[in-house]
A and B are shown apart, each in its own frame.
Chain A
C-alpha cells in the first residue's frame, strides 16, 4: 500500500495528495505519470506527476474528481493507503536550455505545469506561465507560479486580453518564444498548439487518451501524430502540437462515455 501522507482540498473538485512512494519519487521527472488503483476493484487512473520530494520519499499529484474512480480516490484521507501507485511511466519532457519558453496549463494541471516550469528555469530558461481556469474560485497555485516563473498570468474570463487565445497570441507576438508547453483539456491544448503553429513556434502538448496498462501493451492510448500511430503511454505523453490529429483524438476520447456514465450513476447510487 502507498500511504497518503498529505491531503489538501484545492478549489472545487480538485484534490492534492502527497503519496509515500520512494522508488517513484527518486526517478520522477516532469511530464511523467503514475497509474493509480485505489483498491482491487478500482479502475486504473493515469495521473500526471506534479512534484517529487525524494528526501521525504513522496510524490505529489493533483486530480479532479470527475468520475466514479477519481471520486473513490478522493474519499481517501491522510494515512489511508492506495493499492497501486506505479510509475514513473511515460517519457520525461526534455528539460534543457531553450531560451524563452511559454508554459500554459488549464484546470487541474497547474501543479504539473509548475513542476515543469521550475525545472526549465533551473536550466536557465526564461519562463512565462499562463494559468487558465473557468472561474476565479477554480484558480490555484497562483502565488507559487508568480514566485517560480519570470512572468505569470492567470486567465479566468474575457477581461481585456481577449481571453486565453488573445493572451497567448499576444505573448507569442511580443516575445521570441523558442517553445510552448501546454497541459489541460484537449480543446484548450489544441487552441494553444494552433496559435503556436500559426507563428512557427514549436509546441508540446501532453495527451492522456484512455490508458489501461501504461506500458505500451494494450494500445488503447493510440494517437495519430504526423500520420503515424503512436502510444501516449510510451511514446508520449508529450507530442509535437503541430502534428497531432486532434479530430481523431477528440472522437476517440468520446468512445467510452456511455460506460463512464453507467459507472457514475451506479457509483452515485452506491451500487459499485
Chain B
C-alpha cells in the first residue's frame, strides 16, 4: 500500500433511527470512539440523520468544517444512499466522496440480544466506512446523448407494433425485415386463434400503417450486418442484397420472431403427401383446397423432448384447437382427432375454444411419450395411424386422409446471427434471454436493447402485441430524455501496468472493453456496468473498478477486522467471519434478515461489493491476514447474476483460492461461497449461523503462521 493515508477531513454522522439503532447501540459511546479514528475531524449523533434537519446538518458541517469525505452510519445504503449523496453534492462535494454503513439491518436489528457485541461491531463498521471513505475519489456520471431514432429488427406483428408505437411518438424508425414481405409468421396463417379472425385481414391495417408512416424506413430483404457502439449511439450496418447502409440509432428492438420446426424424420413427414405441418394445413385452408373426411392432429412433434427441445411451444395446442373447430364447421360429418400429450388450453378464451371443440365433436386422444403414435402407409397408399389412448386404455387404429403435425416454434439462423452481432445472450433453447424474467421482461441486460414477440419464446398474437408495445415503451424512455447518465462506477485501466493480453475483454459480459489504436484495451464507460469482473480477470492488476478499487476496499477490510489501539476486544478468542456480499442479492438478503429480525452471530461483518465477481484473492487473503477466521463470498443464485455470470466466475476463483489456503495451512474450509437471492433472508441468516458455527469449531487462525509472514520478517525476528 502507498504511504498516502487518504483524506484527513472526514465527517461522521451517526443515526439513532429513533430507538431502532439507539435502542441497542450506545450512540454517545460510538461517537466517542469515532472521534478517535484517524482522519475523522467531525462527529455528530442524530436522532434521524435522514430527516430534513439531519440533512441540513450534513450540509452545514461540510461547509463549516471543510469536510472532504462524509460517512453516515445508519440504515441500508440500498434505500438511503441516493438521499445522502444528493445532500453531499448540494453542499459542493462530489457525491462519490460519501460512504454509508449499515448499523441497523446488519447490526442493531439482528444482534439485539448480544448488546455488547453489537456495540463492538458498530465500532468496527464505522471504522470500516471511514477507512474506505478516506481513499474515495471523485467520480463523474457522464451524460451520453441519445439519438432520436431506433432500429427494429423483424417486421412481424411484434416488430410492426413496436415500430408504429415509436413512430407515433415522433422517433425515426429503421424497420428491418429479412423476408421480401412484412407480416412474419402471421402472414403465413389462415386464421388466428382465439376468435378465428382472418390473418391477412388482421395484418392489413398494420402493414398499411407501417408503409404509410413518414417516420418508418422499411427495409425488406435486409439484415443487420454489424452493430457497434452502445445505448444512445449504436452504429448499425444494414445490408440489403449487395447494398449496405449505416444508421445511427439510440435504441434497438429485437423482434425477429421464430420459425416453425420442419419435422424431418417425424411421422413420415416428407415421404407421404398426407402428412403435413400446421402451416401447410393453414395454406390449404386459405386456398380452399379439399380436405379429406378424417383428419388427425399430432401435438408436441419435436417439442417437450427429454433432451434437446425440452420446452413447450405454447401456441401449438391453440392452433390445433382452432383448426379442428374450423374443419368441423366446414363439414360436421368430418372425423377430427387431436392426439395430445398435455393439452395446454389455459385462460378464459382458450378454455372456451377447447369446450367449443368438444361440443363440435372433436375427439381428443391422450398419448404418452413412451408410446408415440405410429404412422404407416397401406398398400393403397392410405395412411394408418396407430395410437394407444391412455385414458380409455385402448389402442386405436385410425385411417386419416390427413395427418397434421403440430411442431414447435424454434430460433432461426437470422436470430442466432443477430444475437452475435448485438452480443446478447440466447437461452439453452435458442431464444433471446431477457435481463430478468419478472423485473425486466422486455429488456436485455445490455442497456438500450429491448426484446419482444416470439424471438423471446413462442407467443400468440395478443402477447406479441403487448410485448411490442412494452418494448417500444421501454425504448422510448432514453429516446425521449435525449440523454442517459452513464454509470460512474466503471472499470478504469492503468495503461502502464497493462500487458494487452485481453483477459479483461474476454471476461466482460457487456463487451465494454474496446481496443485502442495500438491494440491495448480501453474501457467503454457507456457500456460498462460496473461489476468489476475485469478487475479480477486482469492477471497483472492493471484494471480497477471505481468506488471499489483495491486501494479503497483493502483499507476497509483491514479496519473491519483489525482492533483499534484504543478499543479493547470483548471476546478476543471469538472467531470473526467476513462476508463479501453482492449488492443485488446477499447484501439485500441481509437487509431483509434485519427487517425480519432474523438473528445471526454478531461476529459476522459484511462488506458491500457490486458483484461476487469483484472479489479477488487479495481481498480474501487480506481478510484472513487482518483477523478473519472465515470468509464468505456471497453471490446471486446461478443464472440470476445481475452481470450475467459474475457469480460463476467467482465460484471458479473460490475453488482455486481454497486450494491455495489449504497449501498455506490456513485451511480451505474457512473460505465459503454462498449463493442466494434478495428474497432469501432466512437462508442467509441460517447460513451465517451454520458457517460461523463451523468456523467456531475450527478455532482462530494463527496469524503468526508462515502463511502471513514474509521470509524477510522471519529473518528480522531471528536477528
Residues of chain A at the chain B interface (Cβ within 8 Å): 12-13, 64, 66-67, 106-107, 132-135, 138, 155-158, 162-166, 184-188, 191, 250-251, 253-254, 257-262, 264-266, 269-271
Contacts and interface: CB of A to CB of B under 8 A. Distances in A.
11 contacts: A13-B496, A107-B500, A132-B518, A157-B517, A187-B502, A250-B502, A257-B539, A262-B656, A262-B657, A265-B621, A271-B708
A264 to B, nearest CB: 7
Given A259-B656, A260-B539, A163 B501 contact: no
B706 interface: yes
Contacts of B660: 259, 262, 266
- Ordered nearest first, which 4 A-B pairs have the shortest CB separation? A163-B517, A270-B710, A185-B500, A258-B656
B285 to A, nearest CB: 47
A262 B617 contact: yes
Contacts of B428: none
Nearest to B540: A66
B520 interface: yes
Interface stretch (B34-42, B503-511, B560-568, B585-593): B503-511
Given A12-B496, A261-B539, A186 B502 contact: yes
B500 A134 contact: yes
A265 B657 CA distance: 11
A166 B505 CA distance: 21
A12 B506 CA distance: 25
A168 B500 CA distance: 18
Given A262-B660, A271-B706, A251 B519 contact: no
A156 B518 contact: yes
B707 interface: yes
A132 B539 contact: no
B664 interface: yes
Given A164-B519, A188-B500, A258-B653, A270 B621 contact: no
B341 to A, nearest CB: 40
B454 to A, nearest CB: 29
B539 A185 contact: no
Given A66-B499, A253-B501, A262-B660, A191 B537 contact: no
B498 A134 contact: yes
Contact of B617 (A135, A186, A251, A265): A265
B652 interface: yes
Contacts of A191: 515, 519
A131 B709 CA distance: 43
Contacts of A166: 517
Contact of B495 (A134, A162, A266): A134
A250 B506 contact: yes
A138 B707 CA distance: 36
Contact of A258 (B497, B506, B657, B712): B657
A268 B167 CA distance: 59
Interface of B: 495-503, 505-507, 515-521, 536-541, 616-618, 621, 625, 652-653, 655-657, 660, 664, 706-713
Nearest to B654: A258
A164 B500 CA distance: 14
A2 B656 CA distance: 34
A157 B516 CA distance: 8
A184 B520 CA distance: 11
Contacts of B497: 13
Nearest to A159: B517
Given A164-B517, A165-B517, A271-B706, A261 B617 contact: yes
Residue of A156, A162, A270 with most partner-chain B CB within 10 A: A270
Contact of A67 (B498, B539, B712): B539
A186 B537 CA distance: 16
Contacts of A162: 517
A262 B500 CA distance: 20
A184 B500 contact: yes
Kindly name the residue among B500, B505, B538 whose own CB sees the greatest number of chain A CB atoms within 10 A: B500
A259 B616 CA distance: 11
A270 B708 CA distance: 9
Given A67-B539, A185-B502, 12 more contacts: A106-B519, A132-B519, A135-B495, A162-B517, A164-B518, A184-B500, A184-B519, A188-B518, A191-B519, A258-B655, A262-B657, A271-B708
Counting chain A CB atoms within 10 Å of each CB, the highest count among B503, B507, B536 belongs to B503
A155 B539 contact: no
B518 A187 contact: no
B541 A264 contact: yes
Contact of A107 (B499, B706, B709): B499
Given A135-B495, A257-B503, A269-B621, A155 B518 contact: yes
Nearest to B502: A187
Nearest to A158: B517
Nearest to A263: B660
Nearest to B707: A271
A271 B208 CA distance: 73
Given A265-B617, A269-B710, A270-B712, A163 B518 contact: yes
A10 to B, nearest CB: 14
Contacts of B537: 254, 257
Contacts of B507: 254
B519 A185 contact: yes
A155 B516 CA distance: 11
Contacts of B617: 258, 261-262, 265
Contacts of A187: 500-502, 505, 515, 519, 521
Contacts of B519: 106, 132, 163-165, 184-185, 187-188, 191
A4 B518 CA distance: 33
Residue among A184, A264, A265 with the highest chain B CB neighbour number at 10 A: A265
A38 to B, nearest CB: 15
B495 A254 contact: no
A130 to B, nearest CB: 10
B652 A253 contact: no
B517 A261 contact: no
B518 A261 contact: no
Contacts of B498: 134
Given A166-B517, A188-B519, A261 B618 contact: yes
A158 B499 contact: no
A271 B706 CA distance: 7
Contacts of B538: 257
A246 B655 CA distance: 27
A62 to B, nearest CB: 13
Contacts of A253: 501-503
A67 B652 CA distance: 20
Nearest to A138: B496
A17 to B, nearest CB: 18
Contact of B539 (A66, A134, A156): A66
Contacts of B708: 271
Contacts of A185: 499-502, 519
A3 B456 CA distance: 64
A44 B372 CA distance: 60
Contacts of B657: 258, 262
A158 to B, nearest CB: 4
A253 B506 CA distance: 10
A133 to B, nearest CB: 7
A87 to B, nearest CB: 23
B502 A157 contact: no
A134 B707 contact: no
A107 B498 CA distance: 10
A134 B542 CA distance: 13
Contacts of A259: 656, 660
A261 B538 CA distance: 8
A269 B660 CA distance: 14
A254 B497 CA distance: 18
Contacts of A107: 499-500
B710 A271 contact: yes
A165 B517 CA distance: 7
A254 B504 CA distance: 9
A201 to B, nearest CB: 18
A162 B616 CA distance: 36
Nearest to A186: B502
B519 to A, nearest CB: 4
